[in-house]
Structure 1
């Protein structure tokens, strides 16, 4: 893991921090295999760690505050944890008594407000064997002085735990985890500022928000910020995430907390909601997102009397350009609407959003005309935990209403041809994306960009002239290697799966168009 620690001339401090982080992660992860044998999936293990680490961190913070007040002869501060619901009481118990108290503690803390509600509402004990729970509390968490660890170590350690749980294919946790190397490249291109309101409408475990926070900490030291800017960053007011699944939302909240972002009590930094059903509660100057892939909703939406509503009915009240059951297309519309004027966005989207007809064509036409859709990064396969995904990053900006189109040129960067990655043998790293970031020219005028074999521009007129305004643009490249002959059997299999997914999406889009024309 990389850190934001300032390294000396030889980078020794950074290496030492990274080694310490890895040691801490290995220690925390050491119990995962034991619990997995007891039927606790990796993602559930991280969730249980979240509860216990939060309690331990708050306990240490409370004790430090009391010691500081006593040294200065001042009144003791109010307790952070509710009386009788604290770490010491939990750690004093054993066996069935420990299990019973732990479950009581989770239930009672879930009734509180603020961060307690976000972390503990709906929390359940997934470790039903008292002896395993006892080992986790006494032998692991209880022996770590979390307050002694720096923000970088704590944050990177928790991120690494989430990364390891995402690789647990059976749990399906990978759907909430976007490769951090891709996220950091997107953030470096967008260059967030302390005055931005940064929103992720499908935040998962909070990777985009944290990368933006990391960028702000690196590029805008606290001493350079005014009080309002400093408060926005440290108290989380510059960030807002929306997540459908409460268990994932609590991981995002803990991720923010472990990275030193302590939300204001009156501010809901991670909102648990179906982002597509309701109007956005906060408008964004910067959107960073990887909406969930897949055509259909993960849940049934109920209407009056418990009746399951059709997808079209769910979004009928939204101010969308077109009504469709395609979730990715609805996320594009949602993101476009939640952006403030002059707001900007970088969004990961599957290929079908670029070529699908019907609603897809309507949305692309509106987006190209009313927004400045300026850059498209075509991603290779093998970088997501969901296998066989062909995806892209679309960069666009919202503009004031005008008669003419705002898009003048779409720059397409082909990072797909001749590039093959796997999660284990050749994972995507931040340096792999540096040529794209260099070509993007962050902070500079786009008319300074230079076309290359990988980077080409297409005018608004050329885009409209393509069948169904298809943005799934490819071109023959010179000097590139032959993809298929260079691929390993695993890479070739993934590529075939990805092609089949794209073909299935095309057939489904065609079926939807035929269904619409018949009705």
Structure 2
């Protein structure tokens, strides 16, 4: 978390943009991301040069080749495009290099036909003056970006300023909620992961971080490394700026060639069917779309214009059999009475395997929205398989449930993960469990507990309702009260004591 002096430094960068005439938060984030990305490219080249010099070898596939950029109108050496070089120029020359040379080169950087190349085609440098560029560059230089965790925290803090993204049903998912969802589904080295509403790529970044931490064997195999740096990660977003930010965010986190497409995932050009093994998403749930804009194959499954229902259908269709999903839905999906709502719930329960419904506190997505939400975990089977659905009532997520969302001690999320793993340990986890591992007997939990299992047939009998409150039992504690006469006798005794005390006080004063 960004606090204290580091937070003040980041706020100075933000304030510099606002005072310099750039007030759109998305544009601010985009321009900062470009600069951080350019700095990251130079850092990578420096690492490659140090490694090559140790062995006396030339740099393989240098980001900044030797020679001049022949594509430029007035060619300059590629060396001039490096952060460590142009930041030492005068304000006016640095502004000229960045606007006239670095940005055109940045747009050409991706492999021909890659999603990066498509997204960056419209990248624009919008910092208006040399003075503002110099100020921002100097401020960024003072912020420590070497540590991976610190860099992630800083970037997340800046993304948290995208309050305007709360419009149109799109808003940023808190990092700790993303991490919970990723940990629940345990990404594996052979997974093919997609977020069909990718935003700034928070879910994909968390997935790659999980893989780096838990699967170091990826780096020992060339095929695994190639898969990690390309086919493993896919994201779609209808907003061009978000697609560009997502592309650079993945590259900043060390994924070389993910597929990040600017496209409406619900349209006819939606992601391929039966291709992915893991979906991680918090899709927008802003209301209704026009029938003409929605893919016909989705409309055949469920006749609706509600985005939250259409995205669920899309996710099922994108997954290959055996694929799994963790997705945030508004609570209305769990109990809505329309034919479309019931059809989608029936699809998950009867045709596939609904694993869990994790109810989140109503303030989880403040300040963007106070809508109550839940996490659905399901597995695509195309042949049913739902037996018992696990419900968990999250009452605290480690943050206050007001607009400020400041950290507190109360936090159910570690317990959610521990109990889920007791039900479904990760592959290989059973062999590693020992007497120090927590043991939970979830199947025997009563309906008054914070988590419990509900049989499929009971859900079917309740019209496929998935609201936790439909199945949770309220435990009424019996309290034995004293009789009124006993209370009155006690009051009489107290009154006598008071009178006696007053009498003795008067005697002392006489």
TM-score (norm 1): 0.74
Q: How many residues are paired up?
A: 436
Q: CA deviation at 1:295?
A: 0.8
Does residue 354 of the first structure (1) align with residue 334 of the second (2)?
yes
Q: Which range moved further: 370-379 or 434-443? A: 434-443
Does residue 363 of the first structure (1) align with residue 355 of the second (2)?
no
Does residue 153 of the first structure (1) align with residue 150 of the second (2)?
yes
Secondary structure of the residue aligned to 2:475 is coil
Please tell me whether the aligned partners of residues 170 and 283 of structure 2 are also in contact (alpha carbons under 8 angstroms).
Answer: no
1:192 to 187, 192, 195: 187
Q: CA deviation at 1:367?
A: 1.9
- Aligned equivalents of 1:386 and 1:461: distance in 2? 37
Q: CA deviation at 1:25?
A: 5.5
Please tell me whether the aligned partners of residues 285 and 330 of structure 2 are also in contact (alpha carbons under 8 angstroms).
Answer: yes
Q: CA deviation at 1:74?
A: 3.6
Q: CA deviation at 1:186?
A: 1.6
Q: Which segments of 5 or more consecutive residues in structure 1 lack a partner in the other structure?
A: 2-17, 298-309, 481-519
Please tell me whether the aligned partners of residues 169 and 284 of structure 2 are also in contact (alpha carbons under 8 angstroms).
Answer: no
Cα deviation code 1:361-390 (max 9, x no counterpart): 122212211111121011111111422211
Please tell me whether the aligned partners of residues 381 and 420 of structure 1 are also in contact (alpha carbons under 8 angstroms).
Answer: no
Aligned to 1:343: 323
- Aligned equivalents of 2:351 and 2:166: distance in 1? 41
Q: CA deviation at 1:400?
A: 4.0
Q: Which range moved further: 442-451 or 123-132? A: 442-451
1:460 to 453, 456, 479: 456
Aligned to 1:489: none
Does residue 397 of the first structure (1) align with residue 379 of the second (2)?
yes
- Aligned equivalents of 1:197 and 1:326: distance in 2? 27
Please tell me whether the aligned partners of residues 188 and 442 of structure 1 are also in contact (alpha carbons under 8 angstroms).
Answer: no
Aligned to 2:9: 27
Q: CA deviation at 1:152?
A: 3.0
- Aligned equivalents of 1:424 and 1:189: distance in 2? 27
1:46 to 29, 38, 43: 29
Alignment of 1:369-380 (within 5 A): 369-380=350-361
Please tell me whether the aligned partners of residues 288 and 306 of structure 2 are also in contact (alpha carbons under 8 angstroms).
Answer: yes
Q: Which range moved further: 24-33 or 207-216? A: 24-33
- Aligned equivalents of 2:347 and 2:455: distance in 1? 16
Does residue 321 of the first structure (1) align with residue 324 of the second (2)?
no
Cα deviation code 1:140-197 (max 9, x no counterpart): 3456685xx133333333223323x23x458859934111111111222212211211
Secondary structure of the residue aligned to 2:170 is helix
After the TM superposition, which segments of 4 or more aligned residues of structure 1 sit over 6 Å from their partners? 417-420
Q: Which segments of 5 or more consecutive residues in structure 2 lack a partner in the other structure?
A: 70-75, 426-439, 478-510
Secondary structure of the residue aligned to 1:61 is helix
Please tell me whether the aligned partners of residues 12 and 139 of structure 2 are also in contact (alpha carbons under 8 angstroms).
Answer: no
Please tell me whether the aligned partners of residues 154 and 258 of structure 1 are also in contact (alpha carbons under 8 angstroms).
Answer: no
Does residue 80 of the first structure (1) align with residue 80 of the second (2)?
no
Secondary structure of the residue aligned to 1:254 is helix
Alignment of 1:66-465 (within 5 A): 66=49, 68-69=51-52, 72-75=55-58, 77=60, 79-81=62-64, 83=69, 84=76, 86-87=81-82, 90-91=86-87, 99=95, 101-104=97-100, 105-107=102-104, 109-114=106-111, 117=117, 120-137=120-137, 139-141=138-140, 149-163=146-160, 165-166=161-162, 168-169=163-164, 175-222=170-217, 226-233=221-228, 235-259=229-253, 261-264=254-257, 268-277=258-267, 278-281=269-272, 283-297=275-289, 310-312=290-292, 314-318=294-298, 320-356=300-336, 357-384=338-365, 385-401=367-383, 405-416=384-395, 421-424=401-404, 426-427=406-407, 431-441=411-421, 444=424, 449-452=443-446, 453-465=449-461
- Aligned equivalents of 1:171 and 1:230: distance in 2? 36
| Pair 125,177 (structure 1): closer, same or farther in 2 beyond 3 Å | same
- Aligned equivalents of 2:223 and 2:410: distance in 1? 32
Please tell me whether the aligned partners of residues 408 and 459 of structure 1 are also in contact (alpha carbons under 8 angstroms).
Answer: yes
Aligned to 1:506: none
| Pair 429,279 (structure 1): closer, same or farther in 2 beyond 3 Å | farther
Secondary structure of the residue aligned to 2:301 is coil
- Aligned equivalents of 1:136 and 1:239: distance in 2? 32
Please tell me whether the aligned partners of residues 222 and 230 of structure 1 are also in contact (alpha carbons under 8 angstroms).
Answer: no
Secondary structure of the residue aligned to 2:413 is helix
Secondary structure of the residue aligned to 2:194 is strand
Please tell me whether the aligned partners of residues 144 and 151 of structure 2 are also in contact (alpha carbons under 8 angstroms).
Answer: no
Secondary structure of the residue aligned to 1:373 is strand
- Aligned equivalents of 1:101 and 1:377: distance in 2? 51
Please tell me whether the aligned partners of residues 276 and 315 of structure 1 are also in contact (alpha carbons under 8 angstroms).
Answer: yes
Please tell me whether the aligned partners of residues 119 and 261 of structure 2 are also in contact (alpha carbons under 8 angstroms).
Answer: no
Please tell me whether the aligned partners of residues 192 and 276 of structure 2 are also in contact (alpha carbons under 8 angstroms).
Answer: yes
